[in-house]
Copies of this chain bind each other. A is one copy, B any other.
Amino acid sequence: MLTAVTSITTANTITTMNEPNADFEPVVFRPIGVIRSGHRVAEQTPVQPVYAQGCAGRAEILPAYREGLRDLEGFSHVFLLYHLHRAGTPRLTVQPFIGERPCGVFATRHPQRPNAIGLSLVRLVRAEEALLFLEDLDVLDGTPLLDIKPFVPRFDCVKGARGGWTEVVDETTARQSGQRGFCPQTP
Tell me the A residues contacting B by CB distance below 8 Å: 4-5, 7, 9-10, 15, 17, 21-34, 36, 38, 48-50, 56, 58, 60-63, 65-77, 79, 81, 83, 85, 92-93, 103-109, 113-115, 117, 119, 121, 129-131, 141-142, 144, 146-158, 160-167, 171, 174
Contacts and interface: CB of A to CB of B under 8 A. Distances in A.
Contact of A154 (B75, B104, B171): B171
B149 A106 contact: yes
Contacts of A129: 4
A63 to B, nearest CB: 6
B72 A106 contact: yes
8 contacts: A7-B60, A23-B83, A67-B93, A68-B105, A68-B114, A71-B165, A108-B150, A121-B156
